[in-house]
Amino acid sequence: MQTFQHYLQSQNQVAPELRDTVRSVVSACLNISANVRLGALAGVLGEAGTGNVQGEAQKKLDVIANQILIDELKQNPNVAGLASEEEDDFVACHEQGEYLVLFDPLDGSSNIDVNISIGTIFSVLKRDKTVSGSLKVEDFLQKGAQQVAAGYVLYGVQTVLVLTFKHGVNVFTLNEQGEWLQTHENPKIPEQTAEFAINMSNQRHWEMPVQQYIGELLAGKDGARGKNYNMRWVASMVAEVHRILMRGGVFLYPKDNRDSSKAGKLRLMYEANPLGLIVAQSGGKITNARENMLEIQPTGLHQRVAVVLGSAEEVERVRELHG
């Protein structure tokens, strides 16, 4: 089996500086994985007693994972700047660096203390060199389609790294020696599925098209869709996306009528875009229910967005219902 290191070396069509940037992210994730695995033994579970920019309580591991990534990326001269779901503002790194790294250090925070899968999500953008001067937030506000690399590490039953440089997707599994070995090449998300993921407890807040769509699925074999659907909800987006990558499915986190979710819950830059690139590179689709996610012009680093992703037929149906 090919190691991740060997795979990176063989990617001649990818700029060496970009490969080195991704190497730093993955190296940080190995360190995060060691902390995640030990849990209570390393004293890393529980609340940090702090909040992030979106007013969410941070777990100790959120803070630790964030710091590990920042420390590692700051050492890499190719990194011009970084932005994190856990930081209020972006962090400028190396003036000569060409790349910008955005990340959700530990996605699925509510699952940390209960030993359910969590993950790190990352997105890499190229800094526009034609814009001179010091790094600005606008440098980061690029469409998802402009990402040059994206991926995630899922700390699950197995620890896996899923990565794209925009020519397919590769999956690596961490072995006991701390090496990543390639275990899948170009997984393809089937166009059709009979499995959906949504937080059903929010049903009373959903808008009409989402009510209608889930209604169709719940109607089963005798309904308009003519088949019985199964449901899964892990509450870790990385884990849901990984399941969909491996066997298909549709995932929805819609916006709804509550003031707190008028724009959706998930973050465009740290969650939707990087996972969207993986999904799109695997033959699946991602939308905010109206437009292609990867074509949305971001207006803020911490912008929230409605998310529908996965098997093409289902994502198309959701779009259709939204008119």
Task: Give which of 133, 170, 128, 162 is closest to 146, Cα–Cα.
Answer: 128
What percentage of the chain's residues is helix, strand, coil (to nearest 5)?
40, 25, 35
Q: Which stretch binds ligand AHM (CB under 6 A): 72-80, 105-113, 157-165, 210-218?
A: 105-113
Q: Is 86 part of any known ligand binding site?
A: no
Report d(CA 300, CA 137) in Å as an integer.
8
**Residue 113 marked in a binding site:** no
295 is an interface residue for ligand AHM by CB under 6 A: no
If contact means CB under 5 to 8 A according to the sort of partner, which of ligand AHM, Mg ion, none does residue 236 touch?
ligand AHM
Q: Give the span between the Cα atoms of 148 and 294, in whole angstroms.
A: 12
Other CB atoms within 10 Å distance of the CB of residue 181: 17
Helices then strands, each counted (H, E), the chain: 8, 17
Annotated binding-site residue? 108: yes
Residue 228 burial (CB count, 10 A): 13
DSSP state letter for 56: P
Using rule CB under 5 A, residue 104 touches Mg ion: yes
Using the rule CB under 5 A, is 240 a contact of Mg ion? no
Q: Which is nearer to Mg ion, 97 or 264 (CB)?
A: 264
> Was 109 annotated as part of a binding site?
yes
Residue 310 binds to ligand AHM (criterion: CB under 6 A): no
Residue pair 202/252 in contact (Cβ under 8 Å)? The answer is no
First vs last Cα of the chain: how many Å apart?
47
Show contacts with ligand AHM in window 178-217 (CB under 6 A).
Answer: 199
**The binder of Mg ion chosen from 107, 139, 240, 256 (CB under 5 A):** 107
- How far apart CA 171 and CA 187 sit, in angstroms, is 8
Q: Is 311 annotated as a binding residue?
A: no
Residue whose CB is less far from ligand AHM, 243 or 322: 243
Closer by beta carbon to ligand AHM, 8 or else 239: 239
Site track 27-56 with ligand AHM (rule: CB under 6 A), x = hit:
-----------------------------x
Decide if 141 contacts 299 (C-beta within 8 A): yes
Enter the tokens of residue 206: 């959903």
Which of residues 72, 107, 256, 314 is near ligand AHM by CB under 6 A? 107
102 contacts 87 by C-beta, under 8 angstroms: no
Positions touching Mg ion (CB under 5 A) are 104, 107
**Per the annotation, where are the binding residues for substrate?**
107-110, 199, 265
**Per the annotation, where are the binding residues for Mg(2+)?**
85, 104, 106-107, 271
Positions touching ligand AHM (CB under 6 A) are 56, 104, 107-110, 199, 235-237, 253
